[in-house]
Chains A and B, each alone.
Chain A
């Protein structure tokens, strides 16, 4: 079974660091991009960025560049999302998802397998 298993809920204080994880199984992990998506309380989905496990290439949405770091350890089929100094506004559910992409008569990309999400709460 193809699945993405995310790390558990976290509670931190403003200014603290945090690294959450997303482990894939049931497929050739290194050959699919992994995407991170944020959902703030009561709000919609926001595309944060992607990482390609085979060569660790990363791309960020302009809104998130410099705010978070996306990385991957191909040896343990795990992608990471980390913060160096959390803010209260980082409180959200963070989803990882497997990304399918390519070019037909236009560029296609979609997220076909999702993790259950990691709830991050930042509060003093």
Chain B
């Protein structure tokens, strides 16, 4: 059971927009910054978003992040088939004194 809660799957058509939620508590998301990772099939995870809403160099502006209270959201616009992947949120849990991830969300681009 992951500390952070994500929907197991989301889907949308090419060109559409999708959002992925990540729900936590005051000991994790509520008081710390959130990051998001994309894991394409058979590859290592890659950092997509850090500090709630910042994109590393080279990450498309089709990806965005936001946070409100103890929840965070990843948004992807202009969906492409190449976006099909697993997406994970992550943060620090102050009560565990450890990092935590969400359970992951599988994105299908129909």
| Interface, chain A (partner B; CB < 8 A) | 35, 37, 44-47, 49-50, 59-62, 95, 97, 100-101, 104, 106-112, 114-117
Contacts and interface: CB of A to CB of B under 8 A. Distances in A.
B94 interface: yes
B45 A114 contact: yes
Contacts, number: 81
A46 B90 CA distance: 10
Interface in B53-103: 56, 86, 88, 90-92, 94, 96-103
B56 A35 contact: no
Contacts of B103: 44
Given A106-B31, A107-B94, A114-B46, A35 B88 contact: no
Contacts of B101: 37, 44-47
B3 to A, nearest CB: 9
Most B C-beta atoms less than 10 A away, residue of A45, A47, A95, A107: A45
Contacts of A37: 45, 101
B110 interface: no
12 contacts: A44-B88, A45-B88, A47-B100, A95-B44, A95-B45, A104-B33, A107-B31, A107-B33, A108-B33, A110-B51, A112-B47, A115-B44
A23 B49 CA distance: 25
Interface in B5-62: 31-33, 35, 37, 39, 43-47, 50-51, 56
Ranked 7 nearest A-B pairs via Cβ: A110-B35, A108-B33, A47-B99, A44-B104, A110-B50, A61-B98, A114-B44
A108 B51 contact: yes
